[in-house]
Structure 1
Amino acid sequence: MKNIVLTGAAGALGISIAEELQNNGWNVIGIDLKRSPACETLLIDLSDRDAIRDGFKAISHSYPELHGLVNNAGVFLGKGWDDITDDEASETLNVNLRAPLLLSTLFAKQAIAKAIPAAIVNVASVAGREPGYDIVYAASKAALIQMTRGLGRQLAGNGIRVNAVAPGVIEGPMADRISEPGRTLYMQRTPMKRFAEPAEIANVIAFLLSPKASYLTGAVIDANGGLF
């Protein structure tokens, strides 16, 4: 059985990803601030670099062979440029960008050292393509897309594929943070006239991790209901 690390495992999307991956034969090791009902979970603060390093070391000790990483955890506060605080901006950037980069680095080094073919999937956002109200969130996701492309190119020769999915709004707590009339207007502007269900995004992630996506790296799948 292949082992995969999943951040944000306790959220609505994380639970759906864990369940889908388990259905596809993966052993899922979750990371979150609270325990996920769907998988084993290590409680790690992704805004803390030392905690990430210590946590990954513990995972590697228990699972010497890691085959996949899904950087799913994200901070979305839904605040405008004139409302977000310095600390909130730092937390958003730390969790949405620095943590995926650090985890990807630790994961890739281990996979290369053990000569293990592996895959990384980053959960970006339509906001990284088309910035919305929360510009700090949008900036973090745009940078995550560029990180995906860069790592995809640089790690391809080591047998490590790196791809991303850029969802539109997903039903759940993050969608609930979009205040009206913005929420209704966004739904109306989406050609499919609805938000994504978590399982729909989890299916894309499972595909990107699978052998069916064997020639994809540095790619970004825009699962946004037809926004573009």
Structure 2
Amino acid sequence: MSDVQTQPEPRSVLVTGGNRGIGLAIARAFAAQGDKVAVTVRTMCDMPDGILAVQADVTDSASLDAAFAEVEKAHGPVTVVVANAGITKDQLLMRMSEDEFTSVIDTNLTGAYRTVKRAITGMVRKKTGRVILISSVSGLYGAPGQFNYSASKAGLVGMARSLTRELGSRGITANVVAPGFIRTEMTDALGEDKKREYLANVPAKRFAEADEVARVVTWIAGPDAAYISGAVIPVDGGLGMGH
């Protein structure tokens, strides 16, 4: 017997920025439990079987509308949305250009606004929905050189809590998952000294796997978490300690 807990019925799930890393791990996890999964990508690419790729840029409302329409035609109204798309343009504040600040905010925070606003239309009609916003330990703990990124990821907490108060009575939950250091191609490429420097601050003394984040996301979107909303769930090995 499979250890995967399946949903009563397959749901239409959309993950933004789902072509690699954490986003792809999340998409795979939902597909593994039987959901109908789509991901947004900026450039079309091959995806694993069972995952539909739709082209969209979260900074462009028209492209998001077209992507949602494509997903709805293929899978039905989206009832689980994971706002994962994000960028970094790290720089110390004294050297940070206005474009480096605004472009990160537009993708990570305003992009989440565009995505969630479009998604909740169908959720309100169906009186059910799960909104998961992928933040970061940097948004709660703060990080030097990430004034823009930390601000964008902190803003997602306010979004989830406002949405919870607006739509909690409609069967819609909104939660934040805040990963810490995740093992990716980027962290694998770090020198040993830099890895030790990062890990010195993590009580768990290791990087997380993307699948560990994905399992938290699928759980918070599932039936066992139906009474959890407005929460921030860290997946950071103790780095943030509740910040």
The alignment's TM-score, normalised by the length of structure 2, stands at 0.86
Aligned residue type for 1:106 = R
The letter of the residue matching 2:197 is: L
User: Aligned residue for 1:215?
Assistant: 227
Partner of 1:14: 23
Give CA-to-partner distance per residue, 1:183-205, whole Å, 9 cap, x none. Answer: 53221110011111100000100
Query: Which of 84, 99, 103 matches 1:72?
Result: 84
How far apart in 2 are the matches of 1:77 and 1:177?
19
Q: What is the RMSD of the two structures over their aligned residues, measured on CA atoms?
A: 2.1
Instruction: Give the 3 Å change call, closer, same or farther, for CA 72–210 of structure 1 in structure 2.
Output: same
Q: Between 19-28 and 33-42, report the one with greater CA deviation.
A: 33-42
After superposition, where does 1:197-208 map in structure 2 within 5 Å? 197-208=209-220
Q: Please state how far the C-alpha of 1:65 moved relative to its aligned partner.
A: 2.3
The residue number in structure 1 matching 2:52 is 40
Instruction: Name the aligned partner's letter for residue 15 of structure 2.
Output: L
Matched residue, 2:129: 118
Alignment partner, residue 65 of structure 2:
53
Give the TM-score normalised by structure 1.
0.91
CA contact (8 A) 2:12 2:76 kept: no
Distance of aligned partners of 1:132 and 1:47 in 2 relative to their CA distance in 1, 3 Å threshold? same
Q: Distance in 2 between matches of 1:37 and 1:189?
A: 35
Q: Encode CA deviations 1:150-209: one digit per residue, 9 max, x unaligned.
A: 112211011111111011011114546989966532211100111111000001001001
CA displacement, residues 43-84 of structure 1 (integer Å, 9 cap, x when unaligned): 111222322233223333444322110111111233222344
Could you tell me whether the CA contact under 8 Å between 2:41 and 2:55 is conserved in 1? yes
Superposition pairs of residues 155-174 of structure 1, within 5 angstroms: 155-173=167-185
Q: Sequence identity, in percent?
A: 28
SS in 2 for 1:138: helix
C-alpha separation between the residues in 1 aligned to 2:69 and 2:228?
29
Q: Match of 1:135?
A: 147
1:81 counterpart residue number: 93
Moved more, 145-154 or 180-189: 180-189
AA partner of residue 128 (structure 1): G
2:40 alignment partner, SS class: strand
Question: 2 CA distance for matches of 1:94 and 1:183?
Answer: 30
Alignment length (residue pairs): 227
Q: Secondary structure, in 3 states, of the residue corresponding to 2:29?
A: helix
CA distance in 1, matches of 2:161, 2:190: 29
**1:181–1:95 distance in 2 versus 1, CA, 3 Å:** farther
* Cα distance in structure 2, aligned partners of 1:148 and 1:175: 29
The answer to whether the 8 A contact 2:136-2:153 is kept is yes
**Cα gap change, 1:85/1:48 in structure 2, threshold over 3 Å: closer, same or farther?**
farther
Q: SS of the residue aligned with 2:179?
A: coil
Corresponding residue for 1:30? 39
Counterpart residue number, 2:4: none
Contact 2:136 2:177 in 1 (8 A): yes
Cα distance 1:179–1:72, how it changes in 2: closer, same or farther (>3 A)?
A: farther
Report the 3-state secondary structure (helix = DSSP H, G, I; strand = E; otherwise coil) of the residue aligned with 2:163. helix
**Which of 166, 175, 178 in structure 2 is aligned with 1:154?**
166
8 Å CA contact 1:32–1:44 kept in 2: the answer is yes
